[in-house]
Structure 1
Amino acid sequence: MQPKLSFGSWAFSFGPFESAPWSFERLCRYAAEAGYDGVEINGFRPHAYFRDFTGADDFRELVALRDDLGLEYSGYAPDFHDVPPGVVDQATYLEAFEAALRFCDRLGISILRVDTVSPPSDLPPAEYEERFARLARTWNAAAELAAKSSVLLVWEFEPGFWLSRPSEVVRLLEAVAHPNFTVLFDTSHAYTSGVAGARQGAHPELLAGGVTEYARLIEPYLGHLHLIDSDGSLHDEETSAHLPFGAGRVDFPSALRALQPSLDTLPWWTVDFCFCPTTERDARTAVPFVRSLMEQFAPTSAEGRGDSVAV
């Protein structure tokens, strides 16, 4: 069957919505009414921060909301800002990671998203290699823990965090070397990193084939997909601006074609309107646009890596 369509809940809590974020209930009702099949949960307060959920009673409202609206929870993006995996010791990171895994287990969520947390840095070679090795070891251990819970670990690279050059992304995926550690391909981040070379210093690593070439590079490691447009600009000079479909320069058909056949294994495609001030309007029109892409590039009978399990 075709993948299901999800909406990233951070769109109504970061950037222009940060001063007055939507409640999780409000955005879920919006997503259901707009035609999405699920919501990808932003694990930052005021949404579902995993450390606020310690017992079965804490989850009842999330389960009831999901069931009432006929939605699913497609993935979880926990707040790990206090445990950057390339900096802290492995035990410290894994303690937080296991708590986030328990959150996923409670809700039957089968995808957990991580990033390097640390900002881009021009590190001395020895420190770079030490941090890189620590990160690879830590995420290998995390991927093994996630596998035991039937949760796929997906890493989202972006210019706002350390390691976004195409060669670095591929190198880390190879270094972690765990079948349960995959990459989250965000079309906006791929453009700002691989085409614009954002936050890569004086000597950016640019791909002549743009987002499509980036897609070919990571296709064997693909675990999850975020779709949104980009013109190469940054939000607050930190990370990729996310533009409504058609407002940027991403060639979606070409990129999606390059992601096959790994694209065929994905149970979810997520629309990511992070930092976009016109989300309330444009996330509605995104539904028919992305579903038309699904009709062209997603199979109608392939089995994915596993949908969310009912609680």
Structure 2
Amino acid sequence: MRIAFSSNAYLRHTFDEAAERIAAIGYEGLELLADVPHAWPAGLLEVQKRGIRDAMERTGLAFSNVNCFMMNAVADPRQPYWYPSFIDADRNYRQIRIDHTRRSLTLCAELGAPHVTTEPGGPLEEGRSRQAAIDLFVEILKPLAEHAEKSGVLLLIEPEPGLLLETSDQYEEVADRVDAPSLGLNFDVGHAYCVSEDIPAAIARLAGQIRHYHFEDIAATRVHHHLVPGTGAIDFAEVVSAIKKTGYDGWLTVELYPFQDDPDAAARRALEVLRPLVTPAAGG
């Protein structure tokens, strides 16, 4: 397993600066934010794509993932991460999310990254039938999963508290209906803790579908607010041990977007906590 850091903590820095800092701290990988200011696909010129590739090569970083969950570029006043959503009542808003995801999958393939992570359906609006929203989400995912397969990348769904799919069971319901080899699960450890999942059990059960992990800590209150690993209530030694038992050898990406005031300090502390768990010292 290797540890990466998400560029979404570096929204006040250019992509070049973010890559340089993440590499200097000691991470092996970087999760690219498919959003402003780093890589908004709808407005990304070829020269900018070359700049991203050059920065990755220069720093020695590898792509752990492309994150197209956030949509700050749209600046939806309802909430800039969740909206526009896949299940928005307005089909025009839904199309914005669909088009963004499709462009992100194409960008992922162009850059040689392994997969894209996206939202699990968006918020369920008051008075809306959950089953109708699930049905809509499934039908939207099918052509996106097909585009991912044709592009040679994966589309990963990330369950999140407060959205249509909050738990691993709910993800499985949708994944079974889509039934596409290009569809997988981004297991966010903090989100799973928020909804009181048995994390080791969920990791063991879903090992065949988990293609990527997000790591952040959460307070004992289980309120969804990302904290630096080691400062909340999650037992990361237990989590990493459970992941190792599945034979997973991919990326663990630390996602700390609330720490934009000092992302370097947050990234450094997270690595200090996680690196000994992932790669113990010889003889240790």
What TM-score range do you get, normalising by the shorter chain?
A: 0.7 to 0.9
Aligned residue pairs: how many? Answer: 265
CA-to-partner distance for each residue in 1:16-39, whole Å, 9 max, x for gaps? Answer: xxxxx2222222111010001121
Change (3 A) 1:248 1:30: same
Partner of 2:79: none
Q: Structure 2 counterpart of 1:35, which letter?
A: G
Change (3 A) 1:232 1:217: farther
Q: Which of 102, 105, 109 pairs up with 1:105?
A: 109
Structure 2 portions without partners, runs of 5+: 72-81
Change (3 A) 1:173 1:253: farther
| 1:75–1:109 Cα contact (<8 Å) kept | yes
CA-to-partner distance for each residue in 1:28-55, whole Å, 9 max, x for gaps? Answer: 111010001121011221121111114x
> Residues of 2 paired with 1:92 and 1:275: CA distance?
25
Pairwise CA distance, 1:71: 1.5
> Residues of 2 paired with 1:33 and 1:76: CA distance?
21
Q: Which of 140, 144, 166 pairs up with 1:164?
A: 166
- Normalised to the residue count of structure 2, the TM-score between the two structures is 0.82
> Residues of 2 paired with 1:158 and 1:94: CA distance?
18
> Residues of 2 paired with 1:228 and 1:295: CA distance?
18
Pairwise CA distance, 1:96: 3.4
Q: Structure 2 counterpart of 1:101, which letter?
A: L
Pairwise CA distance, 1:271: 1.1
Pairwise CA distance, 1:115: 0.6
> Residues of 2 paired with 1:35 and 1:219: CA distance?
28
| 1:5–1:268 Cα contact (<8 Å) kept | yes
Partner of 2:228: 244
Q: Are 2:214 and 1:226 aligned?
A: yes
Q: Are 2:284 and 1:294 aligned?
A: no
Q: Which of 37, 42, 48 pairs up with 1:46?
A: 37
- Normalised to the residue count of structure 1, the TM-score between the two structures is 0.75
Partner of 1:36: 27
| 1:186–1:225 Cα contact (<8 Å) kept | yes
Q: Structure 2 counterpart of 1:44, which letter?
A: D
Q: Secondary structure at the match of 1:220?
A: coil
> Residues of 2 paired with 1:282 and 1:59: CA distance?
27
Partner of 1:12: 10
Q: Structure 2 counterpart of 1:48, which letter?
A: A
> Residues of 1 paired with 2:200 and 2:271: CA distance?
22
Change (3 A) 1:268 1:165: closer
Q: Secondary structure at the match of 2:207?
A: helix
Partner of 2:54: 64
> Residues of 2 paired with 1:106 and 1:295: CA distance?
31
Structure 1 portions without partners, runs of 5+: 14-20, 195-206, 297-311
> Residues of 2 paired with 1:92 and 1:102: CA distance?
16
Q: Secondary structure at the match of 2:55?
A: helix
> Residues of 2 paired with 1:281 and 1:152: CA distance?
32
Partner of 2:257: 274
Q: Which of 123, 135, 138 pairs up with 2:137?
A: 135
Q: Are 2:215 and 1:213 aligned?
A: no
Pairwise CA distance, 1:190: 0.8
Partner of 1:114: 118
CA-to-partner distance for each residue in 1:126-146, whole Å, 9 max, x for gaps? Answer: x32122012112223212211
Partner of 2:237: 253
CA-to-partner distance for each residue in 1:193-230, whole Å, 9 max, x for gaps? Answer: 22xxxxxxxxxxxx4xx333333443332111111211
Change (3 A) 1:288 1:149: same
Q: Structure 1 counterpart of 2:257, which letter?
A: C
| 1:211–1:250 Cα contact (<8 Å) kept | no
Partner of 1:300: none
> Residues of 2 paired with 1:184 and 1:31: CA distance?
21
Q: Are 2:65 and 1:75 aligned?
A: yes
RMSD: 2.6
Q: Structure 1 counterpart of 2:211, which letter?
A: G
